[in-house]
């Protein structure tokens, strides 16, 4: 009897396990079908993506990504609002963007062509596949990635192919043809490393005035001297031996005689440092450790770097330049140099996620608008050596509640204007307060008109 009962129990357990397995398999099938249904594919062309994944993997078998494949249709209400004038300029700007934001898009190995405006706005990371052959006009025009790696199989790059945000383009192509205006909108391009270049159209780099390092090798005939004259920040040019020609002589005649010319396809690092001044960053890291020995962080070095979450400075840093970290919107933590003395104008403006700055005691000067639009900032301790809070330094820090600045003797116009939660302020009795310094705050005893 006990044996029979045991057999019966085993049977029941087996049935339960089989049922659970069937259900789980059914769930897997449903999930797979749901994922596949997010893509509208016709004859190998991805026509539309309907999903909302943070990371999108293009399916195998797709050979082309069509124009506006990630675009969303506007509702009748939204269309009415846009064209009736009832929406503000800011609302219009938002509505005219793609409604879908894929943080990362990974192409499958079968994709050969990307059509115009195929990739959606604000895609921060785009993984291009080996096998890709054509980037059509404005193919990556909307992409917000700062670094792009071009596959070796790419054969053609169209006009306006890249976006304003890209800072570094690298690729070891076998043979790639460049359209006349391929880099027209890459006004923030700093580093270009491209092998297998078939042609250099006249004026190709006319808008790339921020390029500091350029490596171009291939079978193109020459780089015309006129094409380099506007590249005032250029520091290094690597070319093929066959086309160096008068390039070295031309570079020697430039006012900026620091340009070096070589015939090696070098890999430039993510930091460009000259005379202990950091003048360029082309990395793509969330945590950035500034190299030891750097004394000055130059103007706009990290401006609009939206991937950075943490900055670590060596104790050699003395100066932070103008707009050095302007609009680093994901920045949440900074380890300052213990010998920092100067913070430039707009240095940390629009760093919307910074809650606190642990400024070292050595800081003597803070520039105008330095911490403007820091919407998450709650507390400020001004170093004792800082005597002046300049124009709009902390303007529109809407969550700022407490400021300690007993050593400050002068507060300029609009310094704390718009800090609507600001109530507690420790001031020097002899402090001079400018007009509207505390306008729209809860600070009592100070003129706000």
pLDDT at 87: 40
pLDDT at 36: 76
Between the alpha carbon of residue 330 and those of residues 110, 324, 353, 441, the distances in Å are: 34, 15, 6, 27
On whether both 207 and 248 belong to a single domain, the answer is: yes
Among 335, 307, 292, 301, residue whose Cα is nearest residue 321: 301
pLDDT at 197 over 70: yes
Asked if residue 436 belongs to a domain, the reply is: no
The residue to which tokens 């917000």 are assigned? 144
Asked if residue 433 belongs to a domain, the reply is: no
Give all strands (DSSP E) within 382-443, no chain letters: 388-389, 402-405, 410-411, 424-427, 432-433
Long-range residue pairs from 64-67, CB within 8 A, at least 24 positions apart, any chain: 64/111, 64/112, 64/113, 64/114, 64/115, 65/107, 65/111, 65/113, 65/114, 65/115, 65/118, 65/119, 66/115, 66/118, 67/115, 67/116, 67/117, 67/118
pLDDT at 447 over 70: no
Q: Which residues pair with 42 in a beta bridge?
A: 45
pLDDT at 388: 97
On whether both 117 and 172 belong to a single domain, the answer is: no
CA angle centred on 213, ends 215 and 132, rounded to 5°: 50
pLDDT at 251: 66
Longest C-alpha distance within the chain, in Å?
104
On whether both 132 and 178 belong to a single domain, the answer is: no
On whether both 53 and 104 belong to a single domain, the answer is: yes
Compute CA 238 distance to the chain's CA centroid, rounded to the nearest angstrom: 26
On whether both 132 and 223 belong to a single domain, the answer is: no
Q: What φ, ψ does residue 262 adopt, rounded to 5°?
A: -140, 175
* Contact between 399 and 420 (Cβ < 8 Å): no
pLDDT at 105 over 90: yes
pLDDT at 8: 58
Q: What is the CA radius of gyration of the chain?
A: 28
pLDDT-above-70 percentage for the chain: 77
pLDDT at 192 over 60: yes
DSSP 25-75: HHHHHHHHHHHHTTEEEETTEEEEE----SEEEPPTT--EE-TTTT--PPP
The residue to which tokens 């249709």 are assigned? 73
Q: What is the arithmetic mean of pLDDT over 302-331?
A: 95
> Of 219-233, 328-342, 384-398, where does mean pLDDT reach its minimum?
219-233
pLDDT at 100: 53
Length of the chain in terms of residues written = 449
Q: What is the arithmetic mean of pLDDT over 107-114?
A: 97
pLDDT tens-place string over residues 247-299: 666 666 655 556 666 655 556 678 888 889 998 888 889 999 999 999 999 99
Q: What is the arithmetic mean of pLDDT over 31-47?
A: 77
Domain boundary, last residue among 268, 297, 330? 268
Domain boundary, last residue among 94, 111, 145? 145
Structure-block tokens of residue 278: 């950091």
Asked if residue 13 belongs to a domain, the reply is: no
On whether both 44 and 137 belong to a single domain, the answer is: yes
Domain boundary, last residue among 218, 249, 268? 268
> Of 106-120, 200-214, 429-443, where does mean pLDDT reach its minimum?
200-214
pLDDT band of residue 170 (cuts 50, 70, 90) is very high
pLDDT tens-place string over residues 356-377: 999 999 999 999 999 999 999 9
Q: What is the arithmetic mean of pLDDT over 300-315?
A: 93
pLDDT at 429: 86
CATH code for the domain in which residue 197 is found: 3.80.10.10
DSSP 188-248: T--EEEEEEE----TTTTTT-TT--EEEEEES-----HHHHTT-TT--EEEE-GGG-TTHH
Asked if residue 208 belongs to a domain, the reply is: yes
pLDDT at 88: 40
pLDDT tens-place string over residues 1-33: 554 555 555 556 555 555 555 444 443 333 333
Asked if residue 278 belongs to a domain, the reply is: no
Compute CA 374 distance to the chain's CA centroid, rounded to the nearest angstrom: 18
On whether both 200 and 130 belong to a single domain, the answer is: no
Number of domains in the chain: 2
On whether both 221 and 257 belong to a single domain, the answer is: yes
> Of 231-245, 331-345, 427-441, where does mean pLDDT reach its minimum?
231-245
On whether both 129 and 186 belong to a single domain, the answer is: no
pLDDT-above-90 percentage for the chain: 56
pLDDT at 181: 93
pLDDT at 306: 83
Burial of 206 (0-12, 13-18, 19+ CB in 10 A): middle
Asked if residue 431 belongs to a domain, the reply is: no
Structure-block tokens of residue 67: 């124009």
For all residues of the chain together, what is the average pLDDT? 83
CA angle centred on 158, ends 153 and 163, rounded to 5°: 100
pLDDT at 274: 84
Total-model pTM: 0.74
pLDDT at 107: 97
How many Å apart are CA 156 and CA 329, to the nearest integer?
34
pLDDT band of residue 220 (cuts 50, 70, 90) is confident
Asked if residue 329 belongs to a domain, the reply is: no
Q: Domain of residue 227: give its range.
A: 165-268
pLDDT tens-place string over residues 44-102: 999 999 888 889 999 999 999 999 998 765 444 334 444 444 444 333 333 334 445 67
pLDDT at 243: 58
**Which helix (H) or strand (E) segment is 365 a member of?**
strand 365-366
pLDDT at 120: 86
On whether both 263 and 171 belong to a single domain, the answer is: yes
Give per-residue burial for 120-154: e unless 16+ CB within 10 Å, then b.
Answer: bbbbbbbebeebbebbbbbbbbbbbbbbbebbebb
Among 220, 211, 126, residue whose Cα is nearest residue 173: 220
On whether both 132 and 214 belong to a single domain, the answer is: no
Structure-block tokens of residue 147: 């670094």
Asked if residue 374 belongs to a domain, the reply is: no
């Amino acid at each position: 009897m006990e044996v029979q009962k045991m057999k019966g129990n085993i049977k029941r357990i087996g049935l339960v396990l089989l049922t659970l397995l069937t259900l789980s398999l059914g769930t897997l099938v449903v999930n797979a079908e749901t994922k596949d249904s997010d893509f509208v594919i016709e004859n190998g062309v991805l026509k539309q993506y309907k999903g909302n994944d943070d990371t999108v993997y293009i399916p195998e078998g797709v050979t082309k990504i069509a124009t506006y494949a990630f675009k969303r249709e506007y509702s009748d209400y939204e269309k009415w609002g846009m064209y009736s004038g009832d929406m503000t300029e800011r609302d219009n700007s938002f509505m005219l963007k793609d409604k879908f934001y894929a943080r990362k898009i990974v192409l499958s190995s079968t994709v050969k062509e990307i059509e115009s405006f195929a990739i959606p706005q604000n895609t921060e990371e785009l993984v291009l596949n080996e096998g890709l052959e054509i980037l059509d006009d404005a193919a990556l025009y909307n992409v917000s990635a700062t670094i792009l790696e071009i596959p070796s199989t790419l054969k053609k790059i169209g006009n306006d192919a890249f976006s304003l945000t890209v800072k570094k383009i690298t690729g070891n192509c076998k043979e790639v043809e460049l359209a006349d205006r391929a880099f027209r909108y890459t006004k923030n391009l700093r580093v270009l490393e491209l092998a297998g270049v078939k042609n250099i159209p006249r004026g190709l780099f006319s808008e790339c005035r921020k390029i500091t390092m350029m490596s171009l090798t291939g079978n193109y005939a020459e780089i015309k001297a006129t094409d380099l004259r506007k590249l005032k920040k250029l520091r290094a040019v690597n070319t093929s031996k066959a086309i160096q020609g008068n390039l070295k002589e031309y570079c020697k005649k430039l006012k900026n005689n620091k340009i070096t010319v070589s015939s090696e396809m070098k890999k430039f690092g993510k930091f460009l440092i000259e005379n202990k001044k950091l003048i360029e960053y082309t990395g793509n890291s969330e945590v950035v450790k500034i190299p030891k020995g750097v004394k000055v962080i130059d103007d706009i070095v990290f401006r609009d770097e939206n991937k950075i979450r943490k900055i670590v400075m060596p104790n050699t840093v003395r100066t932070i330049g103008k707009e050095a970290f302007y609009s680093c919107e994901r920045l949440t933590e900074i380890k300052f140099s213990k010998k920092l003395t100067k913070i430039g104008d707009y240095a940390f403006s629009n760093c919307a996620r910074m809650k606190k700055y642990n400024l070292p005691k050595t800081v003597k000067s803070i520039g105008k608008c330095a911490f403007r639009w820091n919407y998450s900032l709650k507390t400020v301790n001004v170093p004792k050596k800082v005597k002046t809070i300049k124009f709009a330094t902390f303007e529109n820090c809407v969550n700022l509640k407490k400021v300690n600045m007993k050593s400050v003797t002068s507060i300029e116009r609009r310094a704390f204007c718009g800090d609507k939660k600001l109530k507690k302020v420790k001031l020097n009795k002899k402090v001079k307060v400018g007009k509207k310094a505390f306008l729209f705050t809860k600070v009592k005893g100070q003129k706000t008109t």
